[in-house]
Chains A and B, each alone.
Chain A
Amino acid sequence: MKKGITKVLAAVMTAALLVCGSIPAMAAEAEEVTISFGYWGDSGEDKAYADAIKGIESVLPGVTVELVKYPSTNEFWANLPGQVAAGTAPDFIAPTNEGHMSYIVEGLFLPLNDYIDKYGFDLSDTLPNALEAWTYQDQIYAIPTTAAPGIFVVNKDMWDAAGLGELPTTWDEVYEAAKVLTTDDVAGICIDFSQGYHPTQYTNSFGGGWSNGETINSPENVAALEYILKMYEEGLAVNPKDLGLSWDGEVFAAGKCAMTTAGAWYVGLMSESAPDINYEVMAVPGGNGHQGSSMHATGFAVLSTSKNPEVAAQVANYMASVSAQMNMSTRAGYIPALESLQDWYYDINPKMAPSRASTEFAVSFGYPVQSTEFQTDLVRAFEEVYYAGADTTAQEILNTLAEKYSN
């Protein structure tokens, strides 16, 4: 009861302050609106988002932003349907472009073009491929805030100890190197096949890609998957699961593999968990004379269930500002999605600099619309071969998937 009174008092006082504070001009149209922003993350992100909403009342009078924190990605997506049904879903959220397509196609994420035009959101500085990752049929479905291309890391100590010379630039060179680098304790390469992320680095760099389900069994993708299966067959590759570890970064930091496809998060991970390991970051090697990797882009997406989508979009735009993206980058290690911040990011993260070119050619994951199911099936098909000993070929695996997921 006491709490209730306090709350009412606080609300009255805030309202009074707001009204008094914004008397000139805007006061007339100022309407009390609370916009909820749903996210999940660590304490760095808590603080970055708390900073990002500061000062919003001067730009959007009468608008209060409520930070709604979910325990984790899994919990958020597992319970989102319940929240939508109960009317408790947040107004906008910060998803990545890995499972977004089904929500876009089924209409859960709102197209933002009208608001972008109406309020003149300036997205001209946003990296084109980050924006592309959130564009579907000429409509933009989120304001990108991070843009991390897939990268490749090499344990330089192991590399030099094996006398291998220049770092690899093609998958053929990686294969030859892996043969030298593999020992009883160390795998030449870690290929984390627990989700779609890493296989997609291979398909994209072989010149293929999933193209939202259109090209699942393209020759380039088949070549990429054949390469992965060959690495496993010849005992040159390790899946984190084989070592009781949950992802590639742990394998690399434990010194159990000499190379792996990776992401920007390796910088933080390695400096904290394996400061002694001397490693190099580079662009994902090329295959078949191509080069490619994925663009991992978080964005602010407005849910179609929002009662104030227009205001939510404006809040999202406010929270994607230059200073907010810089703040997020410093606090949680993300790469900003703004062109103008790239120099800044690579200056303060010199370790990442050699991979910078990836930003040019990285493209979105391009999973089919049923992206979760597709990734589950892809992982399962791999496990059937590697763990259960099925003699399915790469071509057969991708043919089956193509049949199920081509539109």
Chain B
Amino acid sequence: MPRKKRLNFDRESHIAAALFLAPALICIAIWFIYPLVQSVYISFFDFNYLFKDRAVFVGFENYANMFLDSEFYKGLSHSILFMLIVVPIQTFLALLLATLVNQKIKGRGFFRAAYYMPYVLSAVAVATVFMYFFVKDQGVAKFLSFFGFKNTTWFADMNLAMPFIGILYIWQMLGFYMIYYLSGLQTIPGEIYEASQIDGANKIQTFFFITIPSLRHSTFLVVTYGIIQSFQIFDQIAVVTNSSGGPGSPAGATTTLLTYFYISSFKLYKMGYGSAVAIVLFLIILIVSIVQRRLVKMED
């Protein structure tokens, strides 16, 4: 009897899963897989949508050419460094902010709104203000010069342009991850905290031994998605370099794999090549994500 019941459950769970997943999967098949297949297909052509009939099959040439272009390696190294530095910082800060605004304090709504604000405001508004403060002799640039940084216009400096983008990016994305952590904090049962207080743990101990482990499912998303997103940073670079040399300016200091792709596809109309770059970028993100999941087993 028990055995039979189990089988039934199995079938039932397959039916349930099929029903629950069907809407999502059908949409994904139409609106994701179909266009993706087309993009993969054109990556083997010298292709421009303007003149589709002039497409020439080139095999793996687009892929091979990429590895001969020094700009590609520049983008790759920037993308990887950016990810390595940005993801830990933003994860930590988001958790900190979420914890702060999850306290029972007066004006909680105000603080939450304030910290969420940069994510709400368009990248244009946030970048405009940021750029204003990071110009030579202005607010932040001047202030940081007392701590050994060069007093210069950050986004016009070869070494500081990418750090500037990083600060701007973290600033804007923090609100997003904070909200996600905040919802994670809602799912931690209050009794766990009460129990740990009875055991005599102080707030910091509780944070490290109760809160962080309980948030592992949230952290898995924040880190996984954070890595994926950091590779795809574009808006902030576009706004900062818009009409001042284009993505990558100055002299390739802000080139990432995505700006490299964007310029190829949408500015120079080398769409076959652009697709190849995008696919390689995807493969790199995939490898990094697999490594990350192997290295740190965040989920059971």
Q: Which residues of A contact B (CB under 8 A)?
A: 77-78, 80-82, 84-85, 106, 108, 193-195, 239-244, 246-247, 370, 372-373, 376, 379-380, 383-384, 386-389
Contacts and interface: CB of A to CB of B under 8 A. Distances in A.
B142 interface: no
B266 A78 contact: yes
Given A242-B136, A388-B250, A106 B51 contact: yes
B250 A383 contact: yes
Contact of A244 (B131, B243, B252, B267): B131
Contact of A84 (B50, B245, B248, B251): B50
A80 B132 contact: no
| B138, B157, B246: most-surrounded residue (chain A CB, <10 A) | B246
B244 interface: yes
Nearest to B152: A242
B67 interface: no
B50 A81 contact: yes
A171 to B, nearest CB: 24
Contacts of A372: 267-268
Contacts of A384: 251
B134 A244 contact: yes
B46 to A, nearest CB: 13
A239 B48 CA distance: 34
Contact of B251 (A108, A376, A387): A387
Contacts of A241: 153, 155-156, 244-245, 249-250
Chain A: interface secondary structure? helix
Interface in B155-173: 155-158
The B interface, classified by DSSP as helix, strand, loop or mixed, is loop
Given A84-B49, A85-B52, A246 B244 contact: yes
Nearest to B51: A106
A373 B156 contact: no
A194 B49 contact: no
A243 B141 CA distance: 12
Contacts of A370: 268
A98 to B, nearest CB: 13
B271 A81 contact: yes
Interface string B121-163: 0000000000110111010000000000000010111100000
Contact of B245 (A81, A383, A389): A383
A387 B50 contact: no
A265 B181 CA distance: 49
B245 A379 contact: yes
Contacts of A82: 49
Given A78-B266, A376-B263, A383-B250, A242 B48 contact: no
